[in-house]
Amino acid sequence: MAQLKTDPESTTPVAVDALYAEADDWHVNAGGQTIHAKRITGRWRTIKWAMASVWLIYLLGPYVRWNGQQAVLFDIPNRQYHLFSVTVLPQDFWMLSLLLLFFAILLAVMTALVGRVWCGFFCFQTVWTDIFTWIEERLEGPPAARRKLDAAPMSREKLKVRAIKHGLWLLIGFLTGFSFVAWFTDAPTLWWTFFTGQANGAAYITVVLFTAGTYVLAGFLREQTCFWLCPYARIQGVMLDRSTIIPTYDEHRGEPRGRVKHEEGGERTSGDCVDCNQCVAVCPTGVDIRRGQQEGCITCALCLDACDQVMDKVGRPRGLIRYASLDELEGRRTSRLWLRPRVWVYVLILGLSLSGILYGLTSLAPLELRVLHERAPLFVLQSDGSIQNKYTLKILNKTHESLAVRVRATGHDDLTLVGAEQPIATAPGGVTPATVFVRIPHQALKAEQQPILFQIEASRTTGEQAATERESVFVGPKPRPD
Amino acid sequence: MPLLETTMADHDLFPGENNTGHVWDDNIRELNNPPPRWWMQGFWLSIIWVVGYSILYPTWPIGDEPTPGLLGWSQIKEYEQGVERIEAKRAQFEDQIRNLTADQILADPGLKQYTLASAKVLFGDNCAACHGSGGQGNPGYPVLADDDWLYGGTTAKLAETITGGRQSLMPAHKAILTEAEVDTLAHWVVQMNETGGEGGSEAGWTLFKAKGCVACHGQTANGHVVDLPNGDFIGVGAANLRDGIWRFQPGGYESARHTILYGVNQKDVPETRSAVMPAFAEPAGKLSEQDIKKLVVYVHSLGGGM
Ligand code: SF4
Ligand code: SF4
């Protein structure tokens, strides 16, 4: 029992009490208290709205038309993905991996350079929570009033305000889910089918899940999502380095903090921080930025606005809290953006994935050919003495029109192609299988295996020729030793 | 000192810190912090979920059957509905096929595609054991992927074969021919085989005609008893001796000699070749007319249909 009392003289277990003392100081935001952040105007607030408005694309995008069709439509039942005039089929989905790579690296590069900008400005969790609390403020008033209302017993007035608030939240949740579904089906039609009970079951389930998810996440969980649920929060945290600029409190300038004392009259003896707590009051995650960089800070920069306002009032220069890197704050030399190897590596990967996608989009071939060589049997001897191989051609027609595809096979002088005398009719946007046979006289075969090239070709209504080819193999018996 | 010595709250040594009153080793105490709110919300939500689920879906094992659940869902029902949906899809094709001949199906790419896909299973269940999964044949069982047909490779003939089965006969010649004659004929068969029917010896031809082989193998030894004007032929299952394909594996002199000596399907000859295809049509077999039609299309498309 006495391991902790290492010092025989001492009767107090020093080590463990120090831990308790530290734990006292260590406040974990587990959501016990709703954070009612103050809303103020300012430069960063404006930037925040501007950035958040990117999400209008998500809400309005489905209604954009292109050539009489929905411009962007992820048509899952038909396995076709329309992006303006380009149609992408599942066969082209390698581009999706590049796209995901692009955004993953973009997230990484942004985080390495300017911290969790995604969290602070773009993340749907942040943006939706922002909108939800904006509604809350319109209806229930500033933070003090909201806290009072929270504590007040239920009354007609409270009920009314709350009902409107939750109604609006649910409405936004619904619009969020509905807009999501609208990317996957004809949007204007959806407005009709959805409310007449004719929409796909998956559409209703999705909308219900999104509505509930939005309502709970933005209405109740809020910063708790960032603290405890979001994996990005953790990943992004480790992508910062000494040269990353993030909202930072300039300790050297601010400390020792002290309240403004009017009776003093003369010069301020303490640092620039007047300990007004405004930076904490505006923080949507309840963080005190003056305690240094911490997991709860989503770098929304709202405390910058708050502090700048205060600095203006007390006649001090702005930027006590500002975007700064650890290096800058510690007076180290900060290296230029383009001198950091990390930036180059990121840019290289970004460039490669982007050019891959561009290459893919510009070279989407109208026809694609797969050739399956029959294995049972690999070959048969025909009664005329020729060796016959069987092939299944899988012709993918990626155009919007039916194409009559002509097939040719080359690779041996005495080869006969059977089964492709007539052009093969292929339906738009799908795979048409066709069975063909290649015959080569037995005596003419020199090797057990030899390559055969299948070429397909079709004329489009535009007059263009669509063509592609694929190599397969011709198998025969082992040549006689003579 | 006992391992678990507790000091109750009324003489809490650390008042005001919200501990449970359990203290070990003088100063290690258990704090009474509530779980995070999101955790509690998740906890209650999952309880609500379970209650909702067990009302809607089969859950509690009471008696032999679980409680049915308001939605009336069950796995077997879902499976049956799935089968029904598939059957409904198939029905459109099956109805069309029913009113068409095998040749008409072969001429329609869409229907042909459906028939091939659907007959693949039939072929695997009924034919592949002997003829191989791709019709590549097996020793004693003819290849279906080539164009050498014992009874004809038109759709009509194929249907006939599958429906009624086939069993040909070739007499054993051990007692009929001399050893030398058998030798000459066996060599002749090999010569014919290797030269596409052009290089058979004079002596062989003479024996072939004199000993009655022509009756079944045909005047030109191509296995056609009568050639019909439409390109088809009437045959009794005798092999075409003019092409390079051996009816009985492994082929060659010994193989040919054996067949000549002991014949095919001879009751009292133990060494005889056996070549029997059973009838597949109901009631003797288990295939319906529709199944057979589909199989005809399938076999016809393996590579040698005529
Ligand atoms: S922590 Fe996660 S949920 Fe929160 S703002 Fe950042 S990315 Fe969004
Ligand atoms: S500390 Fe400042 S930047 Fe960080 S989340 Fe709070 S207000 Fe935003």
Same domain, A81 and A155: yes
Q: What is the 3-state secondary structure (H, E, C) of A84-135?
A: CCEEECHHHCHHHHHHHHHHHHHHHHHHHHHCCHHHHHHCHHHHHHHHHHHH
Three-state secondary-structure class, residue A162: helix
Contacts of A388 in chain B (CB under 8 A): 145-146, 303
Ligand sitting nearest the alpha carbon of A323: 2
Using the Cβ of A17 and the Cβ atoms of chain B, whether some distance falls under 8 Å is answered with yes
A101 shares a domain with A58: yes
- Check if A221 has its Cβ closer than 6 Å to any atom of ligand 1: no
> Regarding beta strands A465-475 and B19-24, do their DSSP bridges make them parallel or antiparallel, or are they unpaired?
unpaired
The reply to whether A274 falls in a domain is yes
Write the Ramachandran bin of A22: left for phi over 0, alpha for psi from -120 to 50, otherwise beta: alpha
* In contact, A245 and A325? CB cutoff 8 Å: yes
Residues A323 and A380 in one domain: no
How far apart are alpha carbons A412 and A409 in whole angstroms? 9
pLDDT in tens, A172-227: 999 999 999 999 999 999 999 999 988 889 999 999 999 999 999 999 999 999 98
State in Å: Cα A107 to ligand 1 middle. 12
Residues A375 and A358 in one domain: no
Work out the percent of chain A whose per-residue pLDDT is above 70: 93
Q: Which of A306, A330, A364 is the C-terminal boundary of a domain? A: A364
Given this model, what pLDDT does residue A362 score?
81
- Residues A354, A372, single domain; the answer is no
> Cβ–Cβ contacts within 10 Å for residue A41, how many?
9
Residue B30: CB atoms within 10 Å: 12
- pLDDT at B29 (0 to 100): 83
Whole-number pLDDT of residue B63: 83
- Cα(A307) to centroid(ligand 2), Å: 11
Residues A350 and A430 in one domain: no
Confidence of residue A26 (pLDDT cuts 50, 70, 90): low
B301 touches chain A (CB under 8 A): yes
Give the position, in ligand 2's atom list, of the atom nearest the Cα of A296: 5
Question: How confident is the model over A406-420, as a mean pLDDT?
Answer: 93
Q: Which residues contact A47 (CB under 8 A, 6 or more apart)?
A: A121, A301
Domain ranges of chain B: 75-164, 169-274
Q: CA B209 to CA B217: how far, in whole Å? A: 10
> What pLDDT sits at residue A441?
93
Instruction: Report whether residue A225 contacts ligand 1, using a CB cutoff of 6 Å.
Output: yes
Instruction: Estimate to the nearest angstrom the gap between the alpha carbon of A218 and the chain centroid.
Output: 18
Domain B169-274 has CATH 3.30.10.20: no
Determine the straight-line distance between the first and last CA of chain A, rounded to whole angstroms: 94
Read off the CATH number of the domain in which A378 is found: 2.60.40.10
Are A305 and A243 in contact by the 8 Å Cβ rule? The answer is: no
A-contacting residues of B 42-101, CB under 8 Å?
Answer: none
> Cβ of B127 under 8 Å from any chain A Cβ?
no
Distance from CA of A463 to the nearest CA of B (A): 26
Q: Which ligand is nearest to the CA of A278?
A: 2
Residue A418, in any domain of the structure: yes
Model pLDDT, residue A3? 41
Q: What pLDDT does residue A264 have?
A: 54
Please identify every stretch of chain B with a pLDDT value under 70, giving residue numbers as ranges.
1-13
Closest residue by Cα to atom 2, ligand 2, is: A303
| Ligand 1 touching residue A304 (CB < 6 A) | no
Tell me: pLDDT of A10 over 60: no
pTM for the full model? Answer: 0.69
**What gap in Å lies between CA B184 and CA A85, rounded to an integer?**
75
* Contact (CB, 8 A) for A300 and A284: yes
Q: Whose CA is nearest to atom 5 of ligand 2?
A: A297
**pLDDT above 70: residue A480:** no
**A278-287, A432-441, B35-44, B46-55: the lowest-pLDDT one:** B35-44
CB proximity list for A144: less than 8 A, separation 6 or greater: none
Q: Does A382 touch chain B (CB under 8 A)?
A: yes
A369 lines ligand 1 (CB under 6 A): no
pLDDT at A30 over 80: no
Q: What pLDDT is recorded for position A5?
A: 40
Q: For residue A30, which residues of chain B lie inside 8 Å, CB to CB?
A: 34-38
Q: A234 CA distance to ligand 1 centroid (A)? A: 9
pLDDT digit string (tens) for A64-81?
998 888 999 998 888 888
Q: In one letter, which amino acid is B239?
A: A
pLDDT of residue A479: 74
According to the model, what pLDDT value does residue A7 have? Answer: 46
A248-252, A323-327, A342-346: which has the minimum mean pLDDT? A342-346
Q: Under an 8 A CB cutoff, do B25 and A17 touch?
A: no
**d(CA B217, ligand 1 centre) in Å:** 84
- The DSSP-derived string for A207-254 is HHHHHHHHHHIIIIITHHIIIII-HHHHHHHHT--TT--EEEE-HHHH
Q: Which residues of A touch B240 (CB under 8 A)?
A: 383
* pLDDT recorded at residue B35: 84
The amino acid occupying position B120 is: K
- Where residue A42 falls (left for φ over 0; alpha for ψ -120 to 50; beta otherwise) is left
Lowest mean pLDDT among A233-237, A322-326, B273-277: A233-237
What does pLDDT average to over chain A?
88
Residues in B touching A233 (Cβ below 8 Å):
none
Q: In 10 A of CB B180, how many CB atoms? A: 10
Closest approach atom of ligand 2 to CA A302: 7
Residue labelled with tokens 């397909």: A456
What would the mean pLDDT of A302-329 be, rounded to a whole number? 92
Tally of domains within chain A:
3
Chain B interface includes A264 (CB < 8 A): no
A72 and A10 in a common domain:
no
Interface touch B133/A31, C-beta < 8 Å: no
A43 in the same domain as A19: no
Domain co-membership, A415 together with A304: no
Contacts of B136 in chain A (CB under 8 A): 376-377, 380
> Is there a domain that residue A482 lies in?
no
- CATH label, B75-164, candidates 1.20.120.80, 1.10.760.10, 2.60.15.10, 2.70.170.10: 1.10.760.10
ipTM score here?
0.80
In this predicted model, what pLDDT tens digit does every residue of B34-80 receive, in sequence order? Answer: 888 778 888 999 999 999 999 999 988 888 888 888 998 989 999 99
- SS3 of A441, please? strand
Domain boundary among A364, A379, A405: A364
pLDDT in tens, A355-387: 988 988 887 788 889 999 999 899 999 988 899
My answer on whether A340 and A423 are in the same domain is: no
Mean pLDDT computed over A429-444: 90
Asked if the Cβ–Cβ distance from B148 to A385 is below 8 Å, we say: no
In this predicted structure, the answer to whether residue A2 has a pLDDT above a threshold of 60 is: no
Measured distance CA(A134)–CA(A172) in Å, rounded: 13
Token output for A276 = 């007004």
Q: Is some CB atom of chain A closer than 8 A to the CB atom of B138?
A: no
Name the residue in chain A with its Cα closest to that of B150.
Answer: A383
| Angle between helix B109-126 and helix B75-98 axes, rounded to 10 deg | 120
For the ranges A86-90, A120-124, A309-313, B264-268, the lowest mean pLDDT is seen at A86-90
Q: Does B250 touch chain A (CB under 8 A)?
A: no
Ligand positioned closest to the Cα atom of A129: 1
Domain boundary among A342, A364, A386: A364
Domain assignment present for residue A131? The answer is yes
Whether B32 and chain A come into contact, CB under 8 Å, resolves to: no
CA of A83 to the centre of ligand 1 (A): 29
What is the spatial distance between Cα A251 and Cα A255, in angstroms, rounded to a whole number?
Answer: 6
Q: For atom 6 of ligand 1, which residue has the closest CA?
A: A119
Two tokens, residue A256: 């020792």
Residues A289 and A424 in one domain: no
The confidence score (pLDDT) of residue A363 equals: 77
- Considering only CB atoms, which chain A residues are within 8 Å of B5? none
Does residue A337 sit at the B interface (CB-CB below 8 Å)?
no
pLDDT at B38: 79
Q: In chain A, positions 145-164, which contact chain B (CB-CB < 8 Å)? A: none
A480 part of a folded domain: no
The verdict on A200 and A322 lying in the same domain is yes
Comparing A128-137, A203-212, A437-446, the range with the smallest average pLDDT is A437-446
Can you give the residue range of the structural domain that contains A163?
38-261+269-364
Cβ-based neighbour number of residue A207 at 10 Å: 22
- Ligand 2: lining residues by beta carbon, under 6 Å: A 247, 282-283, 285, 287, 289, 297-303
- Inspect the interface and report whether the beta carbons of B245 and A381 lie closer than 8 Å: yes
What lies within 8 Å, CB to CB, of A384 at 6+ separation is B147, B196, B243
Please report which confidence band the pLDDT of residue A4 belongs to, taking 50, 70 and 90 as the band edges.
Answer: very low
Residues of chain B with Cβ-Cβ distance to A381 below 8 Å are: 146, 243-245
Instruction: Look at residue A51 and tell me whether its pLDDT is greater than 50.
Output: yes
Q: Indicate which residue's Cα is closest to atom 4 of ligand 2.
A: A297
